Amino acid sequence: MDASGGRAMAESKNICGAAAGTVAESQAATYSRGMENSGVGWGMRVLALGAVWVGCVNLVWRQPGAWPRTFPLAYLPEGVVLGLFVAVAAVELGGGLALLAPARMDRLLQTGAGALCAAYGVITALTLPAIVRHPLIFATWGGTGEELSRLAGAAIVIALLRRRQALAWFWIFGLCVATFAGEQLAFFARTMTLVPTWIPPSPWFWTVVTTIAFGLAAAAMLAGRRALLAARLLTVMMVSFVPLIWIPLLIAQPHTLGNWLEGAETLSIAGACWVSADYLGGQTAKRKSSAAAD
């Protein structure tokens, strides 16, 4: 091969290398935008709406009786407990409103997610003494699972906004989903009463189906087998609970505080499910981009 041929081949390699680098950079930028969209997407918005709903209900009703009267609340004056209750409700409301900000306001979004982590962290911590005192009563574990799932959802939002990994929080959320299945088993009869009777074939059937669905979703998410599909299907199921169960109950019994709170918490948990699916979707896109770049 002569000198001119060698130079031509070298130039060709340089051009190919530059083109490959451009493609890789383009794919990385696409993935970055995908992460941004997943972090600032419908999952986060639904989580925010649930937080706003819960915060408004608690600030209007001001009934801290829903909190477990265990240590340290059992040793605090009623006025102090009410003050803490109102403060947490205000933080949750403020955090939810902040998460409804435009996507370009990244710092405000992170602040809102951090506020929700703080609020849900306090509420989750208040459920732990009951587990220590009554570890064999599943209701205590179920309450912790509900609050911890919302904490995990808010923590995943922060990770998405900061372009960081959130696998540990995703696994924690998967464990919480497992407690949902156990909670429905423990309160099977009550769960059946929540299923609208007009949905065929029967409340018993749908209670069994949703309990199994929670268990399978938890297993898939924790094992990493069809985890993205499981998270997405779980999101659809949780979101459907709000219009099918809680909205009709609120219309029929608008003065029952429990219906307002459980409906709002269901929406929050649905948002956490959606955020988890967003996170897995971003991870899948990253792996595909890396494979294409190679």
Mean pLDDT along residues 190-200: 93
The region, left, alpha or beta by phi > 0 then psi within -120 to 50, assigned to residue 226 is left
Q: 65 with 183: CB under 8 angstroms? A: no
d(CA 94, CA 188): 35
Joined together, the tokens standing for residue 210 give 């949703």
Give the pLDDT score at 8.
43
Tokens of 95: 């955090």
Nearest in space to 44 (alpha carbons), one of 119, 107, 116: 116
DSSP class of 99: T
pLDDT in tens, 106-120: 999 999 999 999 999
pLDDT score at 37: 44
Which residue stretches of the chain are H helix?
Answer: 3-39, 42-61, 78-98, 106-133, 138-161, 167-186, 188-194, 203-223, 227-241, 247-252, 257-293
When pLDDT is cut at 50, 70 and 90, the band that residue 24 belongs to is very low
CA distance 154 to 237: 20
Query: In terms of pLDDT, which residue wins out, 274 or 130?
Result: 274
Cβ–Cβ under 8 Å, residues 98 and 112: yes
Task: Report yes or no on whether pTM surpasses 0.85.
Answer: no
At 26 the pLDDT is 37
Report pLDDT for 181: 95
DSSP symbol at 103:
T
Distance from the first to the final alpha carbon of the chain? 30
Q: Which residue has the tokens 């902040």?
A: 98
pLDDT of 185 reads 92
pLDDT tens digits, residue range 167-181? Answer: 999 999 999 999 999
Tokens of residue 255, six digits:
């003065």
Predicted pLDDT of residue 247: 96
Q: pLDDT value at position 10?
A: 45
Of residues 157 and 4, more confidence is placed in 157
Per residue in 231-241, pLDDT (tens digit) is: 999 999 999 99
Mean pLDDT (whole number) for 258-283: 94
Q: Which of 221-225, 254-258, 280-284 has the lowest mean pLDDT?
A: 280-284
The label of the residue with tokens 């219309």 reads 251
Mean pLDDT along residues 261-280: 95
Residues 6+ apart with CB under 8 A from 98: 48, 108, 109, 111, 112, 113, 115
Look at the block and give the residue holding tokens 């130079």. 7
The answer to whether 143 and 127 are in contact (CB under 8 A) is yes
